[in-house]
Chains A and B, each alone.
Chain A
Amino acid sequence: MLWAKYRNKYSGIKQGSRWKGPLPLCYRFAGQCESGLRMDKIDKLEMVGISKSFHGVAANSDINLAIESGQILGLLGENGAGKTTLMNILYGLYQPDSGEIRINGRPVAINSPVDSIKHGIGMVHQHFQLIQNHTVAENIALGYDRAPLLFPQKKISDRIQTFAKQFNLHVDPQKKIWQLSAGEQQRVEILKALMNGADLLILDEPTSVLTPQETKDLFRILRDMQQQGHLIILISHKLDEILALCDAVIVLQKGRFVGRADTREVDKRSLARMMIGRDVIFNIAKEPMPKGEQVLKLDDVVVRGDKGLPVVNGVSFAIHRNEIFGIAGVSGNGQRELVEAITGLRRVEAGRIAIEGADITNETVRCIYDRGIAHVPEERIKFGIAPGLCIYENAILKQHHRDKYSGGALLAYSKIKAHARDLVTDFKVLTPSINIPTKNLSGGNIQKLILGREISESPSLLVASHPTYGLDVGATEYLREQLLRRRQEGGAVLLVSEDLEEIFELCDRIAVIFKGELMGILNADDPRTADIGLMMAGSQKISA
């Protein structure tokens, strides 16, 4: 049963149907394809009056969308606005309750991804659908119609090279997926879609996993594709990207169509207003505060990564009360391991970590927490909660051993529930009840719950890893305000983020990490922060 689920959800191969997919664009133009398989190239695609509801909740109501050849269309909205649902309808993963899809003016039935691929629609999902232990060629061969029966990856390698050259999508076909960076994996996904003959490419939050450089590369690739007559739909909630890349933008709000705008005619502020229905403060007021006493001190800390190699090499810094200390850098440069070492999840090989003068090097997670280091982990659902347990049970995940929640070995559920109710109210977690499984909450609400749980005990230091990653504008704004409130109340915050905007907005001091070493620690008002990009790339080091 399980394979049926995945088969239908992701690979788009349907029982009983032999898929005769379309041919890649270049082959079609070259007139090499067999007749009968050929579909018309998409010049114009329309979605008219699309409605879809789940469990009686309208995810999309009466949405219209139109895109023409050579256009990049942005699809903007907060989390839960219905962007992904709309695109899943176009890709054939869901059937609309009403409305129709037209290609070149003719209505088409898209009952499954097989149909959409046949019509020249490709999708790059937010979470890549690749097999980690297989090579690039093998991944592309899988589900590629023209792959020969025997040794498909060999023949396909050449074809990958041709396509890669056409679109400047450089990947080594012989490399295994796990060896590739997120950006490269995304290129494989794009290649896969293009080789399956996609004229229209849907990208779901494509930059959420990319470094700034990779984002730039992606945009260049997309512009190339645009030049060659492709249609591109970009799902995003990042206003800058939409403005930089798209020709037009469609804004959704709570499943409703809010408006369509030409990106040359709108600015960030008006788009944000369309998206959330009110003005957003883009620069949260941050009062200057005097540096308090020292809270955390790291001396020459060395940490090994999962593969046994040192990935944090002699990092030293100190964080004080009333301070937000940011660690900027491209992900994978040792941030995760550093945070795990500070919070006790990973062994420290050498060096010393101390909190308020007390040595906590290689203490247990619980001991470190009890000393006052709270932690908002980077993958909130993977690390931060037990998804199947109720909200009130997750509200004490880190504190369940404390005496106030237990009489001896027994847990005091009445106190726990009262605490959970306070948490849900204080941190604006939207939920019908505290008795529902936590996995039913949206990402933003889960993050509010985790943050609330971590700061409700007023820790001396809050370690927050990518706290607003993947969250909508409203939740992001709220979480950032909470971090600033911690600073105001005398706590210290260690903020690890890839989002430079966030770093500059919140931090008092910024450290840049590259290959496990700090490239420098700057005050936020230091003019040298202009070179932060160079520091992140490892080509400039500033000694304090």
Chain B
Amino acid sequence: MIQFDVTDRENITPQLTLINLLASLLAGLCAISLIFLINGNNPLFAFGKIFGGSFGSLYGIKETITKAIPLLLIGGGLALAFRAKFWNIGAESQLLMGAVFATWVGLNWGPQLPPAAIVPLMFLAGFIGGALWGLIPAILKIKFAINEVISTLMLNYVCAEFFTLLVVGPWKGKSKFGFPYTDDLPASAILGLIPGTRIHYSTLIIAVAALLILAGLIYKTRFGYEVRVIGENPEAARYAGIDFFKTTLVIMAISGGMAGLAGVGEAAGIHRHLSYPGNISAGYGFTGIIVAWLARLNPLFVLASALFFAGILVGGDAIQIDLGLPAATVQVFNGILLFFLIMGDFFLKHKVRVGFKTAKPKGA
């Protein structure tokens, strides 16, 4: 007979956290190995392909950094929201809204303005787009007590349909021969790339700077303190006179706005026009959740975890080609890792002892 004895762990040291993290990742990779085995692939070979594909060559590294850019922004924004226990599952649509706002600015004002003016304007518009879309669930939650998991998740679908409507309807490009694309952005509205790569450096710089600022915000400022108190105990926050409404609005404006910035980078740095939502964002909004979680909601750690998951995205392409696995493999991969990270969190916060009981004296 197996008996579980679960108690709260009292002191959680940084070493323990690190070991726990590595063990969770390792366990997750073991579970993923099973899937490769079932599929008839050698897991070690597959992992070699994935990480070789993303970090093993110059091309791979360039692509990994390119894909890390949106993850950095989204992961950081989600880390802030999750700290306040606001479960924003809508970064995907906040990204798309950022892309929509920025594209509108680029298409309409781009031809008249020089890059030095239009690019900052597009980032500003993208931030506002993402922030506005993020404020909807925040207001719904505070004013009407609507669960933010549901509202942010559902708004993803609303946004995706709206986005599709734009590209097949009013925004359909005159130069695109009936394809569901918008016109290409004018040259001044296209983000500069590092030569020989697809790395749109302006977004990268903004992303890294945003993470550094965010880290300072969370750990050093009055606002960050209020965010942490709300996350720890909303009742105590009310008692302490923290303005719930205002703080949550700011949190979601930042969280959504950062996803919006990622959308600007994808639209103006990579694709240069809008097409179906699935083409603009490869599920970055969802991968961002795992990025934030792996980083333990610390914006500085997001730098590393975003690179790690970008590597998996790039490596996923490599195994599609080399092992003939379906594209969904990467999603499975990410899902399983998130599972194990959340499980790891449980084992970090609780001590579990498993005992095997011997038979009891009967009738005693």
Which candidate, B55-63, B189-197, B228-236, is the interface stretch facing chain A? Answer: B228-236
Residue pair A387, B233 in contact (C-beta under 8 Å): yes
The reply on B45 being an interface residue by CB < 8 A is no
Taken together as a complex, chains A and B put the C-alpha atoms of A107 and B363 apart, in Å, by 11
A4-B6, A406-B222 given; A14·B1 CB < 8 A:
yes
CB proximity to B under 8 Å, residues A108-134: 108-109, 111-112, 115
The reply on A264 being an interface residue by CB < 8 A is no
Taken together as a complex, chains A and B put the C-alpha atoms of A16 and B346 apart, in Å, by 24
A109-B364, A383-B239, A410-B220 given; A388·B232 CB < 8 A:
yes
Out of A344, A382, A397, name the residue touching B229 (CB < 8 Å): A397
Taken together as a complex, chains A and B put the C-alpha atoms of A2 and B233 apart, in Å, by 20
Taken together as a complex, chains A and B put the C-alpha atoms of A14 and B360 apart, in Å, by 14
Which interface class (under 10, 10 to 19, 20 to 34, 35 or more) fits B?
A: 35 or more
Residue pair A8, B229 in contact (C-beta under 8 Å): no
Residues of chain A lying within 8 A (CB to CB) of residue B232? 386-389
The reply on B357 being an interface residue by CB < 8 A is yes
Of chain B, the residue at the smallest CB distance from A370 is B241
Closest CB of chain A to B227's CB: distance in Å?
A: 11
The reply on B4 being an interface residue by CB < 8 A is yes
The reply on B145 being an interface residue by CB < 8 A is no
The reply on A528 being an interface residue by CB < 8 A is no
Out of B221, B228, B241, B350, name the residue touching A398 (CB < 8 Å): B241
Residue pair B3, A15 in contact (C-beta under 8 Å): yes
Residue pair B221, A112 in contact (C-beta under 8 Å): no
A1-B343, A109-B360 given; A386·B4 CB < 8 A:
no
Taken together as a complex, chains A and B put the C-alpha atoms of A39 and B363 apart, in Å, by 7
A389-B229, A389-B232, A411-B221 given; A365·B241 CB < 8 A:
yes
Residues of chain A lying within 8 A (CB to CB) of residue B360? 109, 111, 115
Taken together as a complex, chains A and B put the C-alpha atoms of A369 and B241 apart, in Å, by 8
Residue pair B239, A106 in contact (C-beta under 8 Å): no
Of chain A, the residue at the smallest CB distance from B236 is A386
Chain B interface, >50% SS class: mixed
The reply on B223 being an interface residue by CB < 8 A is yes
- Number of residues from A at the complex interface, CB < 8 A: 50
Residues of chain B lying within 8 A (CB to CB) of residue A397? 229, 236, 239-240
Residue pair A377, B357 in contact (C-beta under 8 Å): no
Taken together as a complex, chains A and B put the C-alpha atoms of A33 and B88 apart, in Å, by 57
Residue pair A5, B236 in contact (C-beta under 8 Å): no
Residue pair A15, B233 in contact (C-beta under 8 Å): no
A4-B4, A5-B350, A397-B240 given; A386·B222 CB < 8 A:
no
Out of B6, B241, B346, name the residue touching A366 (CB < 8 Å): B241
The reply on A9 being an interface residue by CB < 8 A is yes
The reply on A401 being an interface residue by CB < 8 A is yes
Closest CB of chain A to B244's CB: distance in Å?
A: 11
Closest CB of chain A to B138's CB: distance in Å?
A: 20
Residue pair B222, A409 in contact (C-beta under 8 Å): yes
The reply on A270 being an interface residue by CB < 8 A is no
A4-B4, A409-B221 given; A111·B239 CB < 8 A:
no
Of chain A, the residue at the smallest CB distance from B2 is A15
Residue pair B2, A411 in contact (C-beta under 8 Å): no
The reply on A192 being an interface residue by CB < 8 A is no
Residue pair A386, B233 in contact (C-beta under 8 Å): yes
Give a binary string over A396-418; 1 marks a CB under 8 Å from any B CB, 0 the rest. 01101100001001110100000
Residues of chain A lying within 8 A (CB to CB) of residue B6? 1, 4-5, 8-9
The reply on B176 being an interface residue by CB < 8 A is no
Closest CB of chain A to B251's CB: distance in Å?
A: 15
Residue pair A411, B222 in contact (C-beta under 8 Å): yes
Closest CB of chain B to A37's CB: distance in Å?
A: 10
Residue pair A386, B357 in contact (C-beta under 8 Å): no
Out of B5, B10, B239, B350, name the residue touching A377 (CB < 8 Å): B239
Residues of chain A lying within 8 A (CB to CB) of residue B11? 436, 440
CB proximity to A under 8 Å, residues B223-259: 223, 225-226, 228-229, 232-233, 235-241, 243
The reply on B170 being an interface residue by CB < 8 A is no
User: Which of the listed residues B10, B225, B243 has the most CB atoms from chain A within 10 Å of its own CB?
Assistant: B225
The reply on B361 being an interface residue by CB < 8 A is yes
Give a binary string over B158-200; 1 marks a CB under 8 Å from any A CB, 0 the rest. 0000000000000000000000000000000000000000000
User: Which of the listed residues B1, B241, B243 has the most CB atoms from chain A within 10 Å of its own CB?
Assistant: B241
Residue pair A365, B222 in contact (C-beta under 8 Å): no
Residues of chain B lying within 8 A (CB to CB) of residue A32? none
Taken together as a complex, chains A and B put the C-alpha atoms of A106 and B364 apart, in Å, by 7
Taken together as a complex, chains A and B put the C-alpha atoms of A413 and B221 apart, in Å, by 10
Residue pair B222, A400 in contact (C-beta under 8 Å): yes
The reply on A278 being an interface residue by CB < 8 A is no
Taken together as a complex, chains A and B put the C-alpha atoms of A225 and B93 apart, in Å, by 64
Of chain A, the residue at the smallest CB distance from B229 is A386
Taken together as a complex, chains A and B put the C-alpha atoms of A322 and B232 apart, in Å, by 37
The reply on A393 being an interface residue by CB < 8 A is yes
The reply on A47 being an interface residue by CB < 8 A is no
User: Which of the listed residues A103, A109, A440 has the most CB atoms from chain B within 10 Å of its own CB?
Assistant: A109
Taken together as a complex, chains A and B put the C-alpha atoms of A367 and B241 apart, in Å, by 8
Out of B3, B239, B241, B350, name the residue touching A384 (CB < 8 Å): B239
A8-B6, A388-B232 given; A17·B221 CB < 8 A:
no
CB proximity to B under 8 Å, residues A1-51: 1-2, 4-5, 8-9, 14-17, 39
Residues of chain B lying within 8 A (CB to CB) of residue A406? 222
CB proximity to A under 8 Å, residues B321-364: 343, 346, 350, 352, 357, 360-361, 363-364
Of chain B, the residue at the smallest CB distance from A439 is B8
The reply on A245 being an interface residue by CB < 8 A is no
Out of B1, B2, B222, B233, name the residue touching A385 (CB < 8 Å): B233
Residue pair B225, A393 in contact (C-beta under 8 Å): yes
Give a binary string over A371-394; 1 marks a CB under 8 Å from any B CB, 0 the rest. 000010100001111111100010
The reply on A209 being an interface residue by CB < 8 A is no
User: Which of the listed residues A14, A369, A386 has the most CB atoms from chain B within 10 Å of its own CB?
Assistant: A386
Closest CB of chain A to B340's CB: distance in Å?
A: 13
Residue pair B10, A55 in contact (C-beta under 8 Å): yes
The reply on A171 being an interface residue by CB < 8 A is no
Closest CB of chain A to B73's CB: distance in Å?
A: 22
Residue pair B240, A14 in contact (C-beta under 8 Å): no
Closest CB of chain A to B266's CB: distance in Å?
A: 32
Closest CB of chain B to A125's CB: distance in Å?
A: 17
Residue pair B240, A108 in contact (C-beta under 8 Å): no
A386-B232, A440-B10 given; A15·B222 CB < 8 A:
no
Residue pair B235, A16 in contact (C-beta under 8 Å): no
Residue pair A17, B222 in contact (C-beta under 8 Å): no
Sample (16) of A-B pairs whose CB atoms are under 8 Å apart: A5-B350, A8-B5, A8-B6, A111-B3, A111-B360, A366-B243, A375-B239, A382-B233, A389-B228, A397-B229, A397-B240, A398-B241, A401-B241, A409-B222, A409-B223, A440-B11
Can you add 7 more A-B contacts, CB < 8 Å, to A16-B2, A112-B3? A107-B364, A111-B357, A382-B235, A386-B232, A389-B232, A400-B226, A411-B221
List A residues at the B interface (Cβ < 8 Å).
1-2, 4-5, 8-9, 14-17, 39, 55, 103, 106-109, 111-112, 115, 344-345, 364-369, 375, 377, 382-389, 393, 397-398, 400-401, 406, 409-411, 413, 436, 440
Sort A-B residue pairs by CB-CB distance and give the 9 closest, nearest first: A366-B241, A386-B232, A365-B241, A5-B6, A386-B233, A397-B240, A388-B232, A386-B229, A383-B239
